[in-house]
Structure 1
Amino acid sequence: MRAARLSFVTAAAAAAALTAVTGCTQKSDGGDGDRVINVTATDDKCETSAKEIAAGHVELAIENKGSKVTEVYLLFPDDRVVTERENIGPGTKQRVTAEVKAGEYQIACKPGMKGDGIRQSLKVTGGSAAKRDPRLDKAVAEYRAYVQEQAEATLPLAEVFAKAVKAGDLEAAKKAYAPSRIGWERTEPVAESFGDIDPEVDVREDGLEDGQDPATDWTGWHRLEKALWQDKKITDREKQLADKLVTDLEEWEERVGTADISPTSMANGAKELLDEVATGKVTGEEERYSHTDLVDFKANVEGAQKSYELLKPVAQENDKALVTELDKQFAALNALLDEYRPDTSSYDFTSYDKVTEAQRKELSDAVNALAEPLSKLAAAVVTK
């Protein structure tokens, strides 16, 4: 995964960050048209239609007019991620709906998806966001508990993995590798909201920043994955990295309860999980040495579905047709994934190097069929 991703932040924070994207001094006084901030990204600019906006819901309309794939982040002052959209190709558009409270934020456009990005400051005015449906507060509380539960379940599995690495037991480490990642993959947008933890535990070699040396700066699961499957040996360096992985995940477990979570960030996070599948798992890039991509794939889908199910009662009232389509597409994708595991109660999936190009295309089509309606979920739960 990349270093910083969509964070589950307070609805208000998300809008605030959205405002940060703006480049002029236009203010919003609450009309629906004022709720849209146009962001034009190029290879060297990040131009927006507003620099100040009132607290509440906001829609970020992004257009990439550059020649490079870009990302747009909504950031708190301390660089925690409010929300973001990745993999925005040249000539394409993306929209993100969020809610924000009063405060100061930043927007970062990242051409080439590298570095700190081209940043704009944003001011969100007003005391608080509009009062929301109490069912959404319940959904947020339940999702927060789910995220904490996943973090707590991850740590003992990571300790089993680390113990095998430190013992020099190659086969035991391989067996423990994929299970240790499931909780992280289910809650990846929240996990990645702490930008200083994700690059330590889940970055791939090609995700390192310019100037970083893989020999000394690459750490985490995928560094160990390469040692186990490609290098086929465990040295003192890997043993040290196993301890570091556990330490980093302990910090994640302690901090995950402080993540800012809102209904829109849950919805945007569900879409982000599907984007993770489309750009990493379906392509085979994520687990390029172990080929355990389908384990991550399933965990991402489960995490997205958890967010959706919690938000579904409100979305059902606001957009019944959308809910019908999402139910259909989640069922279809889950049924397709089940074809790659003999026991649907386990995570024993087919090794991804055994999945043909035609089968990968079928999986990709199913992901895209779900991702498109899922991108509309945030708008279906936002306070009107």
Structure 2
Amino acid sequence: MPRVLRYARLLGVGVLGVSLLSGCVANNQAASHTAITVDSSAADCAISANEAPAGSIRFTVTNSGDQVTEFYLLADDGLRIVGEAENIGPGLSRDLVVQLDAGSYFTACKPGMTGDGVGKAEFTATKTDAAATMDVDLAAQIDTANTSYSSYVSDQIDQLVTGTDSFAAAYESRDDDTARSLYASTRVHWERVETIAESFGDLDPKLDLREADLEEGQNWTGWHAIEKDLWPQDAESGFEAYSAEKRAALTRQLVADTATLQDKVEGLTFTLSQRTNGAIGLLDEVATGKVTGEEETWSHTDLWDFQANVDGAKVLYDGVRPILLKTHAELATSLDTEFASLQTLLDAQRVGDGFKLYTDLTPAEIRALADQVNAVGEPLNGLTAALVL
């Protein structure tokens, strides 16, 4: 699950108050971008240019080190995340496409996907008189899609707040059966908009950090800290059930942090590039946690999260699909097919209103899900570059 920075996804700029230009689409033309290369090694993050004209910029990140790496584009304070390319294996490359206003930014890499990163450097998007053009109908379509998604996010967070209040009340009062029954069904609202929640600095790890990703001395709070207490542990683990005081502290923090998230998303607006990159980020969440069973270590409710991430990615894709049909119909057809195939595999694992536990899946079922996530991810990774000029 998310770490500080590690899983802060690609929606960050608009969420954090650094203005992005609206994505522009040219009918039946390949999107054009300023191309910049990044070499991420064990000790450096070498970028081919430290400035580029404002607008659409494609960072092609190549990992020349021996650990999986990530690349970050940060806002002018050096902390807030504008965009991220993650899970880049040794010898592999990955693109990050962003639409930037003129201003100051920072670039950095994180070999091993832990720690403070290396090679942090200033990057400038310079003012330009050039302006991409698009027809009025297309512009209106983009505005409508962005507004609709803002409403979707608000609705999901509202439901998250309501569900969290009920879950926390049950857990604190030691009604563990009720708390366990509410755990997965409440978390789906988080997972559907996870890429947005992860944009708010340390709020994401406060709410959703896994035990395996704790750093030395870090205070562990949030859903997974409570999950460990709710589900029985192996006798050999040495785990001691939480005291009433610790339960109360964890529930107060969970409720407060969720309310903070609700405040932060109020009135948010999104650009085309933020939305397309957000869909990519949600599928990355599936690939790096849910399909591996690493997300829900004790409850094994990973498939609820899996479905919710797919839901969120599909909502984001469906919002831009009418635009894609005008500009890149072949890509839309591919995404339609691969999303449908993934949903068919997920539906086969349903039990009542939920899903099988991850531990009940066969190796063949896990492999089929993983392969289909990759099948969706390949065309989805081209979505931003296809639509944003």
C-alpha distance in structure 1 between counterparts of 2:302 and 2:64, whole Å: 33
Residues 34 and 97 of structure 1, relative CA distance in 2, 3 Å threshold: closer
2:103 aligns to what? 103
Amino acid at match of 1:338: D
Amino acid at match of 2:63: N
Amino acid at match of 1:121: E
May I ask how many residue pairs the two structures share in their alignment?
A: 361
Amino acid at match of 1:60: F
SS at match of 2:350: coil
SS at match of 2:217: coil
1:25 aligns to what? none
Choose 255-264 or 135-144, whichever is displaced more: 255-264
Q: Show the 5 A alignment for 1:1-384.
A: 1-4=2-5, 5-8=8-11, 9-10=13-14, 35-78=34-77, 79-118=79-118, 119-126=120-127, 130=132, 133-134=138-139, 135-209=141-215, 211-213=216-218, 217-229=219-231, 230=233, 233-235=241-243, 236-257=245-266, 261-343=270-352, 346=353, 348-383=354-389
Shift of 1:127: 6.4
Residues 98 and 58 of structure 1, relative CA distance in 2, 3 Å threshold: same
C-alpha distance in structure 2 between counterparts of 1:7 and 1:232, whole Å: 38
C-alpha distance in structure 2 between counterparts of 1:91 and 1:351, whole Å: 35
Shift of 1:80: 2.1
C-alpha distance in structure 2 between counterparts of 1:328 and 1:10, whole Å: 31
C-alpha distance in structure 2 between counterparts of 1:14 and 1:71, whole Å: 23
C-alpha distance in structure 2 between counterparts of 1:169 and 1:34, whole Å: 55
C-alpha distance in structure 2 between counterparts of 1:359 and 1:232, whole Å: 34
C-alpha distance in structure 1 between counterparts of 2:268 and 2:64, whole Å: 33
C-alpha offsets along residues 139-182 of structure 1, whole Å, 9 cap, x if unaligned?
A: 22221221111111100101111001110122111111112211
**Bigger RCO of structures 1 and 2 (CA < 8 A, at least 6 apart):** 2
C-alpha distance in structure 1 between counterparts of 2:257 and 2:342, whole Å: 33
Amino acid at match of 1:365: D
Q: How large is the Cα RMSD of the aligned pairs?
A: 2.2
C-alpha distance in structure 1 between counterparts of 2:35 and 2:268, whole Å: 26
Shift of 1:316: 1.4
Shift of 1:238: 2.4
SS at match of 1:122: strand
C-alpha distance in structure 1 between counterparts of 2:224 and 2:172, whole Å: 16
C-alpha distance in structure 1 between counterparts of 2:80 and 2:101, whole Å: 15
TM-score by length of 2: 0.88
C-alpha offsets along residues 328-381 of structure 1, whole Å, 9 cap, x if unaligned?
A: 0111111110111144xx3x1111110111110011011111011100111121
Amino acid at match of 2:97: T
SS at match of 1:57: strand
C-alpha distance in structure 1 between counterparts of 2:144 and 2:50, whole Å: 32
Residues 374 and 14 of structure 1, relative CA distance in 2, 3 Å threshold: farther
The answer to whether the 8 Å contact 2:150/2:269 transfers is: no
Structure 1, gaps ≥5 residues long: 17-31
C-alpha distance in structure 2 between counterparts of 1:260 and 1:197, whole Å: 19
Identity of aligned residues (%): 41
The answer to whether the 8 Å contact 2:63/2:91 transfers is: yes
C-alpha distance in structure 2 between counterparts of 1:15 and 1:170, whole Å: 45
The answer to whether the 8 Å contact 1:170/1:232 transfers is: no
C-alpha distance in structure 2 between counterparts of 1:179 and 1:232, whole Å: 26
The answer to whether the 8 Å contact 1:185/1:296 transfers is: yes
The answer to whether the 8 Å contact 1:143/1:310 transfers is: yes
Residues 14 and 111 of structure 1, relative CA distance in 2, 3 Å threshold: farther
C-alpha offsets along residues 240-270 of structure 1, whole Å, 9 cap, x if unaligned?
A: 1111011001000100236563211211111
Shift of 1:62: 0.5
Amino acid at match of 2:280: K
C-alpha distance in structure 2 between counterparts of 1:309 and 1:48, whole Å: 34
Amino acid at match of 2:208: D
SS at match of 1:120: strand
Amino acid at match of 1:96: L
C-alpha distance in structure 2 between counterparts of 1:144 and 1:241, whole Å: 30
Shift of 1:108: 2.0
The answer to whether the 8 Å contact 1:15/1:58 transfers is: no
The answer to whether the 8 Å contact 1:106/1:120 transfers is: yes
Choose 168-177 or 259-268, whichever is displaced more: 259-268
Q: Could you list the runs of 4 or more consecutive aligned residues of structure 1 that deviate by over 3 angstroms after TM superposition?
A: 10-16, 127-133, 231-234, 257-260
Shift of 1:294: 0.3
Choose 231-240 or 185-194, whichever is displaced more: 231-240
The answer to whether the 8 Å contact 2:59/2:97 transfers is: yes
